[in-house]
């Protein structure tokens, strides 16, 4: 038997050197950026790709015969191909550029939603981001469909047996997060998809937190839709991706109308454009996909397996060190969790933790992280959350732990 090839470990100091924003001081201390689940910082290569587009190629796409428009179109459509490869989709036509994961979910809820009726069920989980709750609630309000919620256990893991009990022939859509932003739980999305398909439901996976941490292959997962946001994967904000299986996207009506999504328009009738343009109404975020493609190049040069191994090390190291501080409780301890360290401290509001560690130059997020039902499930108003990316180091974790010890001293 041949052993699996060893993952070439990444050198976080070298990786860090490629992120310009990290090289500054905050309140007299070196910046330690641990708010990556909210948004990631950008490598110079991504910043340069966007700047170069505006310096050299900027023009509106698809409609122009002049050279700049052709160059801009080639760059934009080339980026679509890059995303297709990164996500393992079969065709470029299955990659729709949207503003972000939120817009991708809203697109599906509004377009596929036209086939949903009273009494149909949408199944989500207790750990969803508000972006994967509210669009379905709006759909239920419009149609009389019913929102069902699969519970999680005390570690923050989905209870698969309960999920399965909620599946029935009434379930039309299962919408599930790949990796939880507040707990770090990684869901068994392939298994979830198989079980949902067995009752005929369509499956949407919210990958906003997954695509910078692990290799994703939508065909391997088998899901019908997958959404993610570029800004969470070292790319620009305001651009994201909806992957949809061609057969479904073909059947689904457009969500928004406007330029570029049409073939012909008369006052009597409009013929829609082919995929994926049918879902990209109006002038899109022209430079966004170009920045996203540069981010994908950057991620792939590091290697997602190497990134995952590095972040797992940081997570283990940070969990051990934080757990030793009296009064600290880690929230979210599911086996196989990834890159997120949510915690509370006895007698200290998370906002106070965030404010005090900021004095030390450490950026973390505090609050409900747009997952209020998760906070309710654990009976807490909020957590403090450190979240890791490829460019974080063990020294960053040491700085976090020192700063949290200071919080403990202040409140002792
Ligand atoms: C799990 C998850 N889903 C969806 C979103 C929404 O992403 P965006 O705001 O980029 O649309 C987020 C953002 O934090 C998230 O963490």
CATH number of the domain enclosing 129: 3.40.640.10
pLDDT digits (tens, 9 = 90+) for 81-125: 999 999 999 999 999 999 999 999 999 999 999 999 999 999 999
Query: Which of 252, 274, 300 represents a domain boundary (last residue)?
Result: 300
Query: Which of 255, 271, 300 represents a domain boundary (last residue)?
Result: 300
Query: Which of 252, 282, 300 represents a domain boundary (last residue)?
Result: 300
Read off the DSSP letter of residue 53: I
Mean pLDDT of 375-379: 97
Q: Give CA separation, 101 vs 136, 227, 256, 391, in Å.
A: 14, 5, 16, 23
Angle 19-24-27 (CA atoms, 0-180°, nearest 5)?
Answer: 145
Active-site annotation holder among 146, 149, 370, 380: 370
CATH of the domain at 317: 3.90.1150.10
208 and 230 belong to one structural domain: yes
* pLDDT of 4 strictly over 70: no
137 Cα to the center of ligand 1, angstroms: 17
317 and 233 belong to one structural domain: no
- Tokens found for residue 20: 């310009």
93 and 126 belong to one structural domain: yes
* 7 within a domain of the structure (yes/no): no
328 Cα to the center of ligand 1, angstroms: 27
* 216 within a domain of the structure (yes/no): yes
Half-sphere exposure of 123 (CA within 13 A, CB side): 27
* 3 within a domain of the structure (yes/no): no
129 Cα to the center of ligand 1, angstroms: 7
157 and 69 belong to one structural domain: yes
Q: Give CA separation, 222 vs 127, 196, 201, 245, in Å.
A: 21, 11, 12, 10
Name all residues whose Cβ lies below 6 A of ligand 1.
Answer: 100-102, 129, 131-132, 177, 181, 206, 208-209, 229, 370
* pLDDT of 62 strictly over 70: yes
115 and 180 belong to one structural domain: yes
pLDDT digits (tens, 9 = 90+) for 280-311: 999 999 999 999 999 999 999 999 999 999 99
* 372 within a domain of the structure (yes/no): yes
- Tokens found for residue 261: 């999504």
Mean pLDDT of 213-242: 98
* 1 within a domain of the structure (yes/no): no
Is residue 119 packed enough to be buried (19+ CB in 10 Å), middle (13-18) or exposed (0-12)?
A: exposed
- How many domains does the structure of the chain reveal? 2
Domain that holds residue 24: 12-36+303-410
* pLDDT of 37 strictly over 80: yes
Of 203, 257, 246, the C-alpha closest to 89 is: 246
79 and 163 belong to one structural domain: yes
Confirm whether 370 is a catalytic residue.
Answer: yes
Which helix (H) or strand (E) segment holds residue 298: the answer is: helix 288-302
> pTM higher than 0.85, yes or no?
yes
201, 206, 212, 217 alpha-carbon torsion, rounded to 10°: 10
Residue 347 falls in which region: left (phi positive, over 0), alpha (psi -120 to 50) or beta: left
Nearest ligand 1 atom to the CA of 104 is 11
* 248 within a domain of the structure (yes/no): yes
Instruction: Return the pLDDT at 2.
Output: 52
277 and 352 belong to one structural domain: no
- Tokens found for residue 265: 């328009």
* pLDDT of 1 strictly over 50: no
């Amino acid at each position: 038997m041949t052993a699996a090839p060893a993952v070439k470990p990444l050198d976080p100091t070298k990786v860090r050197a490629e992120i310009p924003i990290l090289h500054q001081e905050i309140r007299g201390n070196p910046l330690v950026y641990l708010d990556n689940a909210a948004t990631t910082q950008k490598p110079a290569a991504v910043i340069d790709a966007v700047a170069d587009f505006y310096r050299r190629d900027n023009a509106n796409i698809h409609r122009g015969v002049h050279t700049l428009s052709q160059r801009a179109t080639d760059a934009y459509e080339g980026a679509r191909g890059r995303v297709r490869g990164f996500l393992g989709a079969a065709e470029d036509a299955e990659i729709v550029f949207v503003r972000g994961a939120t817009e991708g979910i809203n697109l599906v809820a509004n377009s596929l939603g036209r086939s949903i009726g009273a009494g149909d069920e949408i199944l989500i989980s207790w750990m969803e981001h508000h972006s994967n709750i509210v669009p379905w609630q709006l759909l239920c309000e419009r149609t009389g469909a019913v929102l069902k919620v699969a519970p999680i256990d005390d570690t923050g893991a989905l209870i698969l047996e309960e999920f399965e009990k909620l599946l029935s022939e009434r379930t039309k859509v299962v919408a599930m997060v790949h990796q939880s932003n507040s707990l770090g739980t990684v869901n068994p999305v392939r298994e979830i998809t198989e079980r949902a398909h067995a009752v005929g439901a369509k499956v949407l996976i919210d990958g906003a937190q997954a695509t910078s941490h692990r290799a994703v292959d939508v065909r391997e997962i088998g899901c019908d839709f997958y959404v993610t946001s570029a800004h969470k994967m070292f790319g620009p904000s305001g651009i994201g991706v909806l992957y949809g299986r061609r057969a479904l996207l073909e059947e689904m009506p457009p969500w928004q109308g406007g330029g570029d999504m049409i073939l012909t328009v008369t006052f009597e009738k409009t013929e829609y454009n082919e995929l994926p343009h049918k879902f990209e109404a109006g002038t899109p975020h022209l430079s966004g996909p170009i920045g996203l493609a540069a981010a994908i190049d950057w991620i792939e040069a590091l290697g997602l397996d190497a990134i995952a191994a590095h972040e797992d090390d940081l997570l283990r190291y940070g969990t051990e060190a934080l757990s030793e501080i009296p009064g600290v409780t880690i929230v979210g301890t599911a086996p196989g969790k990834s890159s997120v360290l949510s915690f509370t401290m006895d007698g200290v509001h998370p906002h106070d933790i965030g404010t005090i560690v900021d004095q030390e130059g450490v950026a973390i997020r505090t609050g409900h992280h747009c997952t209020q039902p998760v906070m309710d499930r654990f009976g807490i108003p909020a957590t403090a959350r450190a979240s890791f990316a490829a460019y974080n180091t063990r020294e960053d974790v040491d700085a976090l732990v020192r700063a949290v010890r200071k919080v403990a001293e202040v409140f002792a």
